[in-house]
Amino acid sequence: MISKEDIKNRMIQAVETVKRTNPMAGSITNSVTINFVANAQLAVGGSAAMVYLPDEGEFLAEAGGATYINVGTLLPIYEQTLPCTVKALYDAGKPWVLDPVAIGIGLLRTQLLRQFKEYKPNVIRGNASEIIALAGLWGLEGGTAQSNVRGVDSTDSVTDAEIAAVALAKWTGGAVAVSGKTDLITDGSIAAFSYGGSYFMEKITGSGCSLGGVVAVYATSASPFIAALTATAAYNLAASRAESKADGPGSFQIAFIDELYKATAADIANNPFEIKEV
């Protein structure tokens, strides 16, 4: 098994490469939190670009170092845009991050998420209920036939989703990040548990979406597992620092972006985490 020291060195490298090269990660993402996604991507040193149309999705797939796909607020055109974008990503061997927000709501969402199975997202990020439901939709171990997602919220705990997360990571050959009180990141052979964060993260919309966008930024410069762990560690660190300065969820979100921007590579790598074989 890879050592913690090795992992930390790779995290440091990912953070520094991003800060130095300002890599572009395009997104097709929901309109509720699209601004927060972009600002979080910029805060860690990336460049953001968002589109809706099929040929624009294909363009960004080619032009970006990685792409973030979030199905939160589907528009009719997504029936065309999303399949051709993820196909372009897959064919070009470009990393992409899937956020299966609100899986279970509506026919198009189910149809699209089912299609994505063959295009193997390099990182899947979601809450526990979303991860379990996606494994179920894809017929993998640890999944359930019915989604327990309530709107955009989880009703399961992170540990409930471990088997599903491992199965998804094995299927894609990438990594899966399950967000919750303690976050789980796995590549199908090892699992990391990342600590920190803040109770305010559930009191602002888009903490999960913007994390997915930041995973895509790091995925331009690191393996799926390192990208997912680095982004999660950066989030846990920034959230915990921001909480100590916040007077409520409004000032928390502002301080969070500030802390995300200020966090150094060493800060992020030293944010507490544990690893185990799975």
Binding annotation for substrate: 50, 206
Euclidean distance between the first and final Cα of the chain, in Å?
Answer: 10
Quote the least distance from Cβ 58 to a second copy, whole Å.
9
Enumerate binding residues for a second copy (CB under 8 A).
24, 26, 30-36, 38-39, 42-43, 47-53, 55-56, 59-60, 63-64, 72-77, 102, 105-109, 150-153, 202-206, 246-251, 253-262
* CB-nearer residue toward a second copy: 58 or 187: 58
* CB-nearer residue toward a second copy: 171 or 256: 256
* CB-nearer residue toward a second copy: 190 or 202: 202
CA distance 97 to 149: 20
DSSP code string of 82-97: HHHHHHHHHHHT--EE
* CB-nearer residue toward a second copy: 76 or 93: 76
Quote the least distance from Cβ 56 to a second copy, whole Å.
4
Q: Is 49 exposed, middle or buried (0-12, 13-18, 19+ CB in 10 A)?
A: middle
Quote the least distance from Cβ 142 to a second copy, whole Å.
24
Quote the least distance from Cβ 172 to a second copy, whole Å.
26
Query: What are the helix (H) ranges across the chain?
Result: 4-21, 34-43, 54-63, 78-92, 107-115, 128-137, 162-172, 207-219, 224-243, 249-262, 265-269
Binding annotation: 50, 125, 179, 206
For 154, 199, 271, the CA distances from 148, given in Å and listed in that order, are 7, 22, 31
* CB-nearer residue toward a second copy: 22 or 189: 22
Q: In what order do the strands lie in the sheet with 24-28?
A: 47-50, 24-28, 66-70, 96-99, 123-127, 175-179, 183-186, 190-194, 273-277
Quote the least distance from Cβ 171 to a second copy, whole Å.
27
